Structure 1
């Protein structure tokens, strides 16, 4: 801080002022001298601690800063689209034209309440709020604002929907309703648990027919506008090698014999060998097939992954094995999603204790006062 001072004004108020290192003057008026001194002390402390924020740094609209932030993010195309939609449809109408430094925690809380009143799901509200909070975190790092007004927001409680896997009979009906060249895609995904992008991006060179394994280390992603490219998996934990069951391998072999991989080496593609696109696949392939197969409206491609997980659990695989096969970052994600599918341990607990106490005191424990 280059200089600072406190002076009494003709109107009996106290004027506290300071010049920052750039020579720019900042001033504020107070009724009491002690309040003016406190303000100067706080500014001095923030400068010394490296937390000083120029009061004018936040004099730009949330929309302007958010668009700068969005352009600098290394988001995937799908994430870019979701972020843009969240901002343009839900954040900008309420916060877009406000100055960064003027947005208060109470206003963020009121905005969240408005989102909930629009019948958006709690999970959706969490995502939208997370985008806005991420922007304010960046603004704090950039010294645009002193704090993040989203930090203490009370969000609607998310109710975790319990996974109910489809049955093998439903899987069979579904596979029969998709075009013939995609039937193996449905069965292969249910037999390996791949995510949609991973299945769409699978190439022949990732399949080891001798060792009966498939290597998952990338996925196909559409580019904005047109085109596509191979990109890394969702997370580093998603890179994995999955053992192929005999039936799945036979399905895959028969598929490739009838539909050889094209110029891109894709195992599953459209009739021209080009990558499948999620949006068109859902609209023209998945939903019509699901409806014809008589499956509930809420069943998505991801339910094939849930079916795979349920089969592993049903046949006694541990949490760590299921985690590794699905490519989850940690076991808690696996347990949070599928814990209800593991066999109930009540009888095992009773048997363990009964075995320990068998023969103890004639088979019963005597309690004495």
Structure 2
């Protein structure tokens, strides 16, 4: 029900009831303005786009915390989201409401993440994605009508060309690392698993008779400890072919560091149990890299890049490389490794030259029309 009435003071009052039966009203100097407002509200109700004006007055932080607590995030993602909001969003919009944050505020905030707070462009984009997710949920919940993040210009991330480790470098690293982890280096280099996936390997995942390795879990480390969870994405569940080099390395590893039970870890921390990333980096990986002459800043993920580079070098398709790595799609694989695929310029020239060599001009081809 909606109506417009003229008040004793000459103002025009427009009233309507929302889908929950609650009455709302506004006063206007002109009847035409009251009617226009009422028409807009009525249309939003009929199309299911109605937003209670009072919803937009809810504090951003209050809504964001409710949103955060209801998300089915993995522990590592939940930790990152909490940090993004606590360190970068809440200080910027302390006391601000959902509806009070405008596109211009978002743009200034994004720019400030890099220029004022010194975040890398990639980190600023990740923080923005968290805030954008909050506002997207607020629109979906009919708290606000529009997402102020829409159309925001994000900082450009400089494209870094991956320079894979060479085979001699990997062999040298395997020779310098602590003995319990020599097999880890060779296995990772031969299968391209993510560090957490390697740490999550148990004896049941290794099938030496079929020369295959199954990935169905990973080990992650948070401030609350080390835990075992599912792989990064649905596409990360996979069976990876096990090259002879890796199979031989694992046979040698299991002779010295046996894992007799199906639930026993293939690689363990010094005190037992699953390997924790931070301690592994500090006590095992970095000292081994220094001995092997591998530059600082190179992490275990470099072995994954090494694996991808070998597949590409030996002619594997984008689809195959993507499947072996457990990427979400082939586009992601191309985005990371496109510069490693062989240049096709010569093949392009040869294809055209061959076509014209095989079909010589017989003199009857009419000249092109002038334009």
TM-score by length of structure 1 reads 0.92
Alpha-carbon distance, 1:213 to partner: 0.8
Alpha-carbon distance, 1:22 to partner: 4.2
- Residues 14 and 297 of structure 1: is their aligned pair in 2 closer, same or farther, counting only changes over 3 Å? farther
- Residues 6 and 127 of structure 1: is their aligned pair in 2 closer, same or farther, counting only changes over 3 Å? farther
Secondary structure of the structure 1 residue equivalent to 2:239: strand
- Residues 29 and 166 of structure 1: is their aligned pair in 2 closer, same or farther, counting only changes over 3 Å? same
Note the alpha carbon deviations across 1:3-47, whole angstroms, 9 max, x for none: 43242452x443323333545332223332211211111111111
Query: 8 Å contact 1:201–1:275 — kept in the other structure?
Result: yes
Query: 8 Å contact 1:3–1:20 — kept in the other structure?
Result: no
Secondary structure of the structure 1 residue equivalent to 2:338: helix
1:265 match:
264
- Structure 1, gaps ≥5 residues long: none
2:291 match:
292
Question: CA–CA distance in 1 between the matches of 2:173 and 2:365?
Answer: 60
Secondary structure of the structure 1 residue equivalent to 2:91: helix
1:321 match:
320
Question: CA–CA distance in 2 between the matches of 1:233 and 1:286?
Answer: 22
Cα RMSD for the two superposed structures: 2.4
Note the alpha carbon deviations across 1:299-337, whole angstroms, 9 max, x for none: 121111000000111111111211111111221111111
Query: 8 Å contact 1:6–1:37 — kept in the other structure?
Result: no
1:354 match:
353
1:164 match:
163
2:225 match:
226
Question: CA–CA distance in 1 between the matches of 2:256 and 2:13?
Answer: 84
- Residues 364 and 156 of structure 1: is their aligned pair in 2 closer, same or farther, counting only changes over 3 Å? farther
Q: Which deviates the most, 354-363 or 142-151?
A: 354-363
Question: CA–CA distance in 2 between the matches of 1:93 and 1:134?
Answer: 18
Query: 8 Å contact 2:269–2:276 — kept in the other structure?
Result: no
2:213 match:
214
Query: 8 Å contact 1:266–1:273 — kept in the other structure?
Result: no
Question: CA–CA distance in 2 between the matches of 1:217 and 1:25?
Answer: 54
Q: Which runs of 4+ in 1 moved over 4 A?
A: 359-369
Note the alpha carbon deviations across 1:266-308, whole angstroms, 9 max, x for none: 1111123311112222233223332333222231211110000
- Structure 2, gaps ≥5 residues long: none
1:337 match:
336
Question: CA–CA distance in 2 between the matches of 1:76 and 1:284?
Answer: 27
Aligned residues: 366
2:40 match:
42
1:1-369 equivalence runs, <5 A: 2-8=1-7, 10=9, 12-117=10-115, 118-222=117-221, 225-229=224-228, 231-261=229-259, 264-358=263-357, 360-361=359-360
Question: CA–CA distance in 1 between the matches of 2:127 and 2:155?
Answer: 12
Alpha-carbon distance, 1:193 to partner: 0.1
Question: CA–CA distance in 1 between the matches of 2:260 and 2:29?
Answer: 79
Question: CA–CA distance in 2 between the matches of 1:326 and 1:363?
Answer: 52
Query: 8 Å contact 1:174–1:289 — kept in the other structure?
Result: yes
Note the alpha carbon deviations across 1:52-103, whole angstroms, 9 max, x for none: 1111112221111111111111111111111111111111111242111211
Note the alpha carbon deviations across 1:97-118, whole angstroms, 9 max, x for none: 2111211111111111111212
Alpha-carbon distance, 1:365 to partner: 12
- Residues 153 and 6 of structure 1: is their aligned pair in 2 closer, same or farther, counting only changes over 3 Å? farther
TM-score by length of structure 2 reads 0.91
- Residues 365 and 78 of structure 1: is their aligned pair in 2 closer, same or farther, counting only changes over 3 Å? farther
